[in-house]
């Protein structure tokens, strides 16, 4: 399946999708039965009320029994009054049930979003994922609030009309049955077209969302390279695909009304003429029966018209539901680890407060010191089977060591970092954290034992304090300030109008790029696990700020194993080992002095004879 083109020609199994949807009603499923009964009675009240109207007319014309006439009128009022009450009740019940279902689905969507592996987000546009939360959920809201109950109502009306017409006069009823059959045939074939194009329309909306999000995120780049026209053309292509699908879907939808109305007028005309002939020749019991017949004829097309509208809403909702369930069925991030972190104390450094808790085959547990040592052993990895990114990589980082990675873009530096966090699973080889295979460590505990600062800083909507607290939510305000001081953030944060309570929005775009990077460093300073990863952490900081931050980082890296990726060689000169990567392999390793003495790739880079891409 191509990126950004999640499409189904039609719901593959509407019944299965519907049954799965019903499960979201939980313990309130029985209320659906109550709603069903109330809807059935509401329909009965309308049909039987029209029948009683004819009885009342015949009784009034004959002037035989006024007491019976009054009783019939009272009965009619009671039937209609109870029908109105049932209508109000089931409408409110269905709205409340629908909101509960939508709440649970959105909750599950959000939970599953957190459980998906990073690979899923690499392969699917964000706009497509957003469409599950917006467009697909919205179609489901409309169907649950309105269409599901009305489908039952329309069906009961159709059945009730068929029965009442047969009771009045079977020969007159045959006329209506013929037109009903025409309507059914039309609805059947037109609905198939509607289902196809509605599903296409929903999918194209997802593509539009993806394109709009991409254009907004890349607006600066687009303007910088005068790419506005090309961006518009690209959007226009996606928008035209949506337009084509929408025009076809709305054509078939809007076709329902004129066809059904035309057939209903023709049906009413023929039924009125034939009915009048039956009355004149006394082939029908009386004027009241003819009135009931005409009323039901006039109303017979209405449930079909409503039925087509609501069936389209339901088909759209089922198509959206199927997309949602397709997303929910995506495999979650695999976590078979059993080794966990246990807290030993509330005092001291992180490695003194926590320890590894390792289960044994005998059902007991062993504790192992948390140190922050990393070992790569013959690791091979590729994002797909066609291209190997890392080829037989081996290295180690002992407690407190600083290991630096150098190489051009695409050499595999960031991939190494991603594998330590188990954002991706390796193809071959093994990675150890403190001598424990990382596959055996629970993901949450593994990532708690790692502090990471990436080149692409992401700040969340909220205060500066909340963003620093992101790495350690239970920290005190004093600890937040201390972390900010280490990262040289405190001075400029205090100069802001609201200080640490300044609200950040839109990924922190109300701050400079350098300030955002410094906040990311402060976040890492607050969380102090023994393994620190810096992926181009100073790339967006000016030279003056770099000197201040480098001093703070030296303090931060004390007694911590540090893995550093950097283009600026000044930040890694004092590393215990520098690994030069090229095409997924380590081609040089050693200290700064050793690599300069070797006069190889690193030497050429250091002397400025080559530049990293």
Domain end, chosen from 306, 328, 350, is at 328
Q: Where are the alpha helices (H) located in 329-358, listed in sequence order?
A: 350-353
How many domains does the chain fold into? 3
Structural element, H or E, at residue 581: strand 577-582
Please report whether residue 568 resides in a domain: yes
3-class DSSP state for residue 82?
helix
Q: How confident is the model over 65-81, as a mean pLDDT?
A: 84
Q: Are residues 365 and 256 in the same domain?
A: no
User: Which span out of 197-206, 214-223, 395-404 was modeled with the highest average pLDDT?
Assistant: 395-404
Q: Are residues 236 and 188 in the same domain?
A: yes
- 64 confidence band (pLDDT: 50, 70, 90): low
pLDDT of residue 346: 77
* Calpha distance 410→612 (Å, rounded): 11
Q: Are residues 457 and 316 in the same domain?
A: no
Q: What angle do CA 109, 112, 118 make, to 5 degrees?
A: 125
Domain range holding 352?
340-369
Mean pLDDT of the chain: 84
Q: How confident is the model over 404-420, as a mean pLDDT?
A: 87
- Is residue 540 predicted with pLDDT exceeding 60? no
pLDDT of residue 268: 83
φ, ψ of residue 498 in degrees (nearest 5) = -105, 10
Q: Are residues 296 and 356 in the same domain?
A: no
pLDDT of residue 613: 45
Q: How confident is the model over 334-359, as a mean pLDDT?
A: 87
3-class DSSP state for residue 445?
helix
pLDDT of residue 220: 62
Please report whether residue 392 resides in a domain: no
> 127-183 pLDDT, tens per residue?
788 888 888 898 899 889 888 899 999 889 888 888 888 888 888 889 989 988 888
* Calpha distance 147→307 (Å, rounded): 9
CA distances from 188 to 183, 194, 258, 309, 613 (A): 8, 10, 16, 13, 61
Please report whether residue 82 resides in a domain: yes
Biggest CA–CA distance in the chain, Å, is 123
- Is residue 348 predicted with pLDDT exceeding 50? yes
Please report whether residue 422 resides in a domain: no
Q: Are residues 457 and 586 in the same domain?
A: yes
CATH of the domain at 153: 1.20.1560.10
Q: Are residues 602 and 454 in the same domain?
A: yes
* Calpha distance 448→432 (Å, rounded): 16
Both structure tokens of 501: 């309570």
CB neighbours of residue 273 within 10 Å = 10
pLDDT of residue 1: 36
pLDDT of residue 2: 37
Q: Are residues 214 and 357 in the same domain?
A: no
Q: Are residues 544 and 467 in the same domain?
A: yes
> 501-531 pLDDT, tens per residue?
998 877 777 787 778 888 888 888 887 889 9
pLDDT of residue 106: 92
Q: In this predicted structure, which of 16-20, 175-179, 304-308 has the lowest mean pLDDT?
A: 304-308
* Calpha distance 562→569 (Å, rounded): 16
Residue 142's contacts (CB-CB under 8 Å, 6 or more residues apart) are 313, 317
Residue 547's contacts (CB-CB under 8 Å, 6 or more residues apart) are none
Both structure tokens of 257: 């009304």
Please report whether residue 379 resides in a domain: no
Percentage of residues of the chain with pLDDT beyond 70: 92
CA distances from 46 to 76, 165, 246, 299, 524 (A): 10, 14, 36, 10, 68
Please report whether residue 154 resides in a domain: yes
CATH of the domain at 476: 3.40.50.300
Q: Are residues 358 and 310 in the same domain?
A: no
Q: How confident is the model over 39-57, as a mean pLDDT?
A: 86
- Number of alpha carbons in the 13 Å side-chain half-sphere of residue 318: 24
Both structure tokens of 289: 């029966």
CB neighbours of residue 68 within 10 Å = 13
3-class DSSP state for residue 585?
strand
Q: Are residues 234 and 322 in the same domain?
A: yes
- Is residue 543 predicted with pLDDT exceeding 80? no
- 3 confidence band (pLDDT: 50, 70, 90): very low
Q: Are residues 457 and 487 in the same domain?
A: yes
pLDDT of residue 608: 67
Both structure tokens of 585: 């392999």
Please report whether residue 4 resides in a domain: no
What are the residues facing 564 on neighbouring strands? 404, 534
Q: Are residues 347 and 324 in the same domain?
A: no
Please report whether residue 524 resides in a domain: yes
3-class DSSP state for residue 242?
helix
């Amino acid at each position: 399946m191509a990126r950004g083109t999640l499409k189904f020609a039609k719901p593959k199994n509407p019944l299965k999708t519907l049954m799965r949807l019903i499960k979201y009603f939980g313990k309130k499923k029985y209320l659906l039965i109550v709603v069903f009964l109330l809807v059935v009675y509401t329909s009965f009240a309308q049909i039987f009320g029209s029948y009683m109207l004819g009885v009342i007319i015949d009784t009034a014309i004959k002037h035989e029994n006024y007491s019976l006439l009054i009783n019939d009128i009272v009965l009619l009022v009671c039937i209609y009054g109870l029908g109105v009450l049932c209508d109000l009740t089931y409408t409110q019940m269905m709205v409340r049930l629908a909101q509960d279902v939508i709440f649970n689905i959105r909750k599950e969507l959000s939970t599953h979003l957190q459980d998906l592996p990073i690979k899923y987000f690499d392969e699917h546009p964000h706009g497509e994922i957003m469409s599950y939360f917006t467009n697909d959920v919205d179609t489901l809201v409309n169907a649950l609030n309105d269409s599901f109950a009305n489908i039952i109502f329309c069906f009961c009306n159709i059945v009730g009309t068929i029965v009442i017409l047969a009771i009045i006069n079977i020969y007159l009823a045959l006329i209506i049955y013929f037109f009903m059959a025409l309507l059914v045939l039309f609805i059947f074939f037109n609905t198939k077209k509607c289902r196809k194009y509605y599903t296409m329309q929903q999918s194209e909306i997802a593509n539009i969302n993806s394109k709009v999000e991409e254009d907004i995120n890349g607006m600066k780049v687009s303007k910088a390279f005068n790419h506005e026209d090309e961006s518009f053309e690209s959007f226009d292509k996606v928008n035209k695909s949506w337009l084509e699908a929408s025009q076809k879907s709305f054509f078939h939808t809007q076709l329902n009304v004129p066809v059904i109305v035309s057939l209903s007028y023709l049906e009413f005309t023929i039924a009125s003429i034939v009915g009048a002939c039956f009355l004149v020749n006394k082939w029908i019991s009386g004027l009241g029966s003819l009135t009931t017949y005409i009323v039901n004829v006039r109303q017979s097309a209405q449930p079909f018209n409503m039925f087509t509208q609501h069936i389209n809403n339901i088909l759209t909702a089922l198509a959206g539901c199927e997309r949602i369930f397709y997303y929910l069925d995506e495999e979650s991030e695999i976590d078979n680890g059993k080794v966990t972190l246990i807290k030993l104390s509330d005092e001291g450094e992180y490695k003194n407060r926590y320890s590894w808790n390792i289960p044994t085959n005998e059902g007991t547990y062993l504790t192992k010191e948390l140190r922050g040592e990393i070992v790569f052993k013959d690791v091979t990895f590729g994002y797909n089977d066609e291209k190997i990114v890392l080829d037989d990589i081996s290295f180690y980082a002992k407690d407190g060591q600083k290991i630096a990675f150098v190489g051009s873009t695409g050499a595999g530096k960031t991939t190494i970092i991603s594998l330590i966090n188990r954002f991706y699973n390796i193809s071959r080889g093994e990675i150890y954290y403190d001598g424990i295979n990382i596959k055996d460590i629970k993901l949450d505990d593994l990532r708690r034992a790692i502090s990471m600062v990436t080149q692409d800083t992401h700040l969340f909507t909220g205060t500066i304090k909340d963003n620093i607290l992101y790495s350690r939510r239970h920290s005190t305000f004093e600890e937040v300030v201390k972390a900010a001081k280490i990262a040289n953030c405190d001075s400029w944060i205090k100069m802001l109008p609201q200080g640490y309570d300044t609200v950040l929005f839109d990924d922190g775009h109300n701050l400079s790029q350098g300030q955002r990077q410094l906040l990311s460093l402060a976040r890492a300073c607050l969380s102090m696990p023994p393994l620190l990863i810096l992926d181009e952490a100073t790339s967006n900081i000016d030279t003056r700020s770099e000197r201040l931050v480098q001093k703070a980082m030296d303090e931060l890296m004390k007694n911590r194993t540090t893995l550093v990726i950097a283009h600026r060689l000044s930040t890694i000169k004092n590393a215990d080992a520098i690994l030069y990567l090229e095409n997924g392999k380590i081609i040089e390793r050693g200290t700064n002095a050793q690599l300069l003495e070797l006069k190889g790739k690193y030497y050429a880079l250091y002397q400025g004879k080559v530049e990293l891409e």
